[in-house]
Structure 1
Amino acid sequence: MEAIRLLLAYAAHCGFKLFQMDVKCAFLNGIIDREVYVAQPPGFENKSFPNHVFKLAKALYVYVDDIIFGSANEDLCADFAKLMTNEFYMSMMGELNFFLGLQIKQTAEGIFIHQEKYAKELVKKFGLDCAKPMRTPMHPNIKLDKDEHGRDVDETRYRGMIGSLMYLTSSRPDIIQSVGVCSRFQSKPKESHFSAVKRIIRYVLGTTNYGLWFPKTDSFQLVDFCDADFAGDRIDRRSTSGMCCFLGKSLIVWSSKKQATVALSTAEAETKHIEVRFHSIREHVQNGNLDIQFVNSEGQLADIFTKPLIEERFCKLRTELGIITSSLFP
């Protein structure tokens, strides 16, 4: 998904029109018209002939899939499509509007990606389509723990909800922190955890048409924000690191992850993401390849990936990340 978002961000920046072609079939165990040899796969070595190779009688698997391509010159796209259809068993699907579950809308001002169809199906699947929508995915004062004395809930259903929400984060970074917190309790979920997940889905219910906006801009500079809370997890007091990466004004990569070790100070919590890469990063700074700057709390966009926020702060950061509603587009 990162590669797809990178391509979309670049296309928006350059004013490319993206198109899609479909490979009509994949070949499993196809006939080979030439000699092909492969090394002995691990675990399937012939002990009598350890240095020999296998000669294939049929193709193991030739995997092909949809192709995305684009250019600022649409005539070149037409020529490329004609060339590909003449050489391979492919068909032109036209302008790119749906790929790997992402709905894509291309305009002269940029590209908008969302999963509205999937979000509506998710809410309906778990029976919350008639529930009251929530304004944020997680209450700012919530502190989830193991809740060992709480009432057990269906593990299969709970895991299904988490898995479905994780797929939605392909275009909805605003829910990744709350989904990540709830995913920590998949082994023995309790009623309190189940209520937290339902709140996320109720938030999705009110924001099904939200997605990521990649605007057409002159700047294509790589900018990354990193942040961490301090000892935010109630169980082991580990901190949560959050990061988001922009190309120009297009958000292409984000993460929210609990740190592997316990930080004894806020400084350790803020820099734990560097780990053994510290010296490499320092060299890049000295060589002028990187410019590291302090960002105050008000301008720290990665704050949304480290902890639950109050509604005003959450909505402000959501907008600054480029998460907007599809109703803005005709």
Structure 2
Amino acid sequence: MVVKNKARLVAQGYTQEEGIDYDEVFAPIARIEAIRLFLAYASFMGFIVYQMDVKSSFLYENGFRRGTIDKTLFIKKDKGDILLVQVKQKDDGIFISQDKYVADILKKFDFSSVKTASTPIETNKALLKDEEAEDVDVRLYRSMIGSLMYLTASRPDIMFTICAYVRFQVTPKVSHLHAVKRIFRYLKGQPKLGLWYLRDLPFDLEAFSDSDYARASLDKKSTTGGCQFLGKRLISWQCKKQIIVANSTTKAEYVATANCYGQVLWIQNQMLDYGFNFMNTKIHIDNESTICIVKNLVFHSKTKHIEIRHHFIRDSYEKRLIQVIKIHTDHNVADLLTKAFDVSRFNFLIASIGLLNL
């Protein structure tokens, strides 16, 4: 509430002056995607990143504090002094990781000496409510999920799994807790994975879109997956269950592509501030029918059941803001964000998106 934030300012003894901060009642907070975008640009240009501390905790209880040690940038959460993200600056690029935070949560939940798992989630095992099973400690389950959610700042390899199990926070069962523990066992085996932004790479914007049709066992909704790169540097990714029940694979893929383009549009606008005008951005899709719908207006009569808000991608294609490219499913890296895989396919995908051990 605006009134609440104004009251918080007054309680701290601050006064507002018209023309200066009369309308500014919220602290400016950078999206994590914006930080990764800046780091990708810095790696391309060969910049050494410095920073200054800005205190904004009088507006938000959980602000962010940052400090620099040598060439490593630390992003911390003020309350509890939790280390979130490490950014190591090297001569040939920038490496983003959270291995110190992984070590902290493994110790917190007593997973420091457990057997490791090769993947964060089992394949071909449906996620069910399991209502007849025994209940578990809700606070423990939510605490584990909440701790894992911070890891999505640099670990897209666990994004799909966390999005799947976060849906069972109301009444978690033993089976759900065991599944979440598997994520920790996977992290135990891969604590140092991070995003590598190599300096000597091109700097073009491209995206990948995918969906998993009707895989949600509870309501048969599809899962949207998307990821965006600046010259092979992964800067943004999405995993989200669609709010509608798609009645065809094509519709599920089309909705996912529109969602992916929404993020591409945001990146295009952000890059204008850096002096880059990324027109005709490539969006890679593995569904031929979706590409036909985007390109060919004749298909409009067959897509009346799709909500109008998803059709803005057609207008953007006509304006040459994007181009849609057919890609084989085996090479669609957005697949990582839509479903579970065996260890060989999983390792191939995380290597393809730039997750490495350094």
Same fold, judged at TM 0.5 (above): yes
Query: Does residue 97 in structure 1 map to residue 73 in structure 2?
Result: yes
Q: Is the 8 A contact 1:173 1:254 kept in 2?
A: yes
1:48 aligned residue: none
Q: 2:219, 2:201 → 1: CA distance?
A: 45
Q: 1:253, 1:4 → 2: CA distance?
A: 10
Q: Hey, which bits of structure 1, 4+ residues long, moved more than 3 A?
A: 25-28, 64-68, 92-96, 275-279
CA-atom RMSD in angstroms: 2.3
Q: 1:150, 1:27 → 2: CA distance?
A: 43
Distance of aligned partners of 1:16 and 1:199 in 2 relative to their CA distance in 1, 3 Å threshold: same
Counterpart pick for 1:313 among 345, 348, 353:
345
State the 1:20 CA deviation.
2.3
Q: Is the 8 A contact 1:20 1:93 kept in 2?
A: no
Q: Give SS of 2:153's match.
A: coil
Decide which structure has the larger Cα Rg and report it.
1
* Deviation readout 1:42-73 (Å, 9 max, x if unpaired): xxxxxxxxxxxxxxxxxx99xx97689xxxxx
Query: Does residue 301 in structure 1 map to residue 277 in structure 2?
Result: no
1:288 aligned residue: 320
Q: Is the 8 A contact 1:22 1:65 kept in 2?
A: no
1:258 aligned residue: 241
Q: 1:107, 1:305 → 2: CA distance?
A: 29
State the 1:3 CA deviation.
1.0
State the 1:112 CA deviation.
0.2
Query: Does residue 210 in structure 1 map to residue 193 in structure 2?
Result: yes
Q: 1:244, 1:27 → 2: CA distance?
A: 32
Q: Is the 8 A contact 2:121 2:179 kept in 1?
A: yes
State the 1:93 CA deviation.
6.7
Q: 1:145, 1:93 → 2: CA distance?
A: 46
Map 1:1-330 → 2, pairs under 5 A: 1-23=32-54, 95-100=71-76, 101-273=84-256, 274=258, 276-326=308-358
Instruction: State the identity as a percent.
Output: 43
Q: Is the 8 A contact 1:242 1:302 kept in 2?
A: yes
Q: Is the 8 A contact 1:136 1:311 kept in 2?
A: yes
Q: Give SS of 2:154's match.
A: coil
Structure 2: which 5+ runs fail to align? 1-31, 77-83, 259-306
The count of corresponding residues between Structure 1 and Structure 2 is: 270
* Deviation readout 1:138-190 (Å, 9 max, x if unpaired): 01122111001111100000000000000011110100100110000000000
Q: 2:248, 2:324 → 1: CA distance?
A: 21
Q: Is the 8 A contact 1:217 1:248 kept in 2?
A: no
Aligned amino acid, residue 12 of structure 1: S
Aligned amino acid, residue 138 of structure 2: E
Q: 2:309, 2:327 → 1: CA distance?
A: 21
Instruction: Write 1 or 2 for the structure with the bigger share of helix.
Output: 2
* Deviation readout 1:181-239 (Å, 9 max, x if unpaired): 00000000001100110000100111111111111134211111111111101111111
State the 1:278 CA deviation.
4.1
* Farther-moved stretch of structure 1 (163-172 vs 267-276): 267-276
Q: 1:115, 1:14 → 2: CA distance?
A: 24
Distance of aligned partners of 1:278 and 1:117 in 2 relative to their CA distance in 1, 3 Å threshold: same
Q: 1:116, 1:94 → 2: CA distance?
A: 18
Q: Is the 8 A contact 1:20 1:94 kept in 2?
A: no
Q: Is the 8 A contact 2:222 2:242 kept in 1?
A: yes
Q: 1:4, 1:281 → 2: CA distance?
A: 26
Q: Is the 8 A contact 2:201 2:232 kept in 1?
A: no
Q: Is the 8 A contact 1:21 1:66 kept in 2?
A: no
Distance of aligned partners of 1:258 and 1:325 in 2 relative to their CA distance in 1, 3 Å threshold: same
With CA pairs under 8 Å and 6+ residues apart, which has the higher RCO, 1 or 2? 1
